[in-house]
Amino acid sequence: MFVVAVTVFVKPENKEDFVEASIDNATNTRKEPLNLRFDVLQCIDDPNRFFLYEVYKDESGFAAHKETEHYKRWREEVAPMMAKDRIGVKHKNIFPINEEAFFSK
């Protein structure tokens, strides 16, 4: 599996719009054939800090995601909402090792 973890700091006045755009992106990404998971989280200690946890079957799944209309729409919509550059970190899974444990409908 290929896991992308993205931290986003949003301008306080854009929190609601960021959430709306990110739910749209997550909902559509979950329909991609190589996506296994897309969690959108809000930091408890800093409500302007958000976290996207994206799991794909492999790196090609992430590449395909970046070509989708919903990703491009999200990227364009949220760019002016960010208080600073977003931070994306790419990972491979160590545990669990099997795809089933990552996947839930």
Q: Can residue 31 be called a binding residue for its own copies (CB under 8 A)? A: no
Residue in 45, 67, 69, 85 binding its own copies, rule: CB under 8 A: 45
**Phi, psi angles (nearest 5°) of residue 34:** -105, 5
89 interacts with its own copies by CB under 8 A: yes
Q: Is 103 in the site for its own copies (CB under 8 A)?
A: yes
| Distance (Å, whole) CA 48 – CA 72 | 22
Helix (H, G, I), strand (E, B) or coil at 33: coil
Q: Is residue 23 close enough to count as binding its own copies by CB under 8 A?
A: yes
48 near its own copies, rule: CB under 8 A:
no
